[in-house]
Structure formats: C-alpha cells, structure tokens
Amino acid sequence: MIEWLVLWGATEAAGIIVKPILEELVKDGAKDFAKDFFKDSLKNVIFGEKDPRQVAAGKALKKFLELVQQQLKISGLSPEQITLYIKDVKKFISNKSVNEILGKGFESDRESLDAELLEQTWTQLDLAALPARFKWQTIANQYLAEVQEIL
C-alpha cells in the first residue's frame, strides 16, 4: 500500500480529503482504478508490471482531490465541514463517467474538460450540496494543466 502512495506523492500530509481517499483506493486495488481511469485515453499503450499509467492516474487523482479540497476551503468551509464531504467525494471519483472525464485530461490534444458534466454528475449522484462559491470550471482548468505536467 505504501508503495503506491509514495509513487503518487501522497505519503506526506496531503489534506483532509486527499489522504484518506487515496489510502482507501490503494486498499481496494489501484490497478482496477487505473483501467477505468484510462478507459479511452492511452488504451492502446501496453506496459509491464510497474504500469506507469497507474502512477500517472494516482498522481492525477491526487491533484484532482487537492483541487476539490481547495475549492471547498475557498468557499469558506472549516476543516470540520470539509471532512463531511469525504464520503461523497469518494463516491464521486468512483463513478465511471467521472473517471472517463478525468482520464481525458491525458489526451495530448485536449484543450478543456467538461466541468458542466462533472457538476451534473455530482447532482445526479445525489451528493451533499456544494457551497455556492464552489467552481467546477476552475477545478477542470487547473486539473487539465496539472495533468499536462504529469504527461
């Protein structure tokens, strides 16, 4: 478990939401997560046992979780209030359509991500209401920039 967290850069105190979700993801199986994450992106690339896609997917997910946490903080929530979102954020990132959207950030010609679909998916999953100042578009833009750096 620790090996994946080290590779993803998540061993240091990564935040209220980030670390517990990534730790649980590793327990559940990082390999399956990476397969869903890159369902359409990089699907024709075959790697060996230490699949770099798993490392890239973990790093990208860590960045995404940090951005969500940052938006919750910017929206004026206390650390205790942010903690209440852990279960919902975990459910959100477990959704296949969310994984596909996040995986599309790895397409080299990708110029934007569908922030509106992320927002709609959050609502359709009937998750806790987000603060009015929470901005999915900001997350999508910053996430795409971060993923391009990972590439």
Q: Grade residue 14 by pLDDT with cuts at 50, 70 and 90.
A: low
76: left (phi over 0), alpha (psi -120 to 50) or beta: left
Q: Grade residue 6 by pLDDT with cuts at 50, 70 and 90.
A: very low
Structural domains of the chain, count: 1
Minimal CA–CA distance to 119: which of 105, 95, 137? 137
What does the pLDDT average to over 111-136?
Answer: 96
pLDDT score for 7: 47
Domain residues for the domain of 62 are 2-150
The reported pTM is 0.78
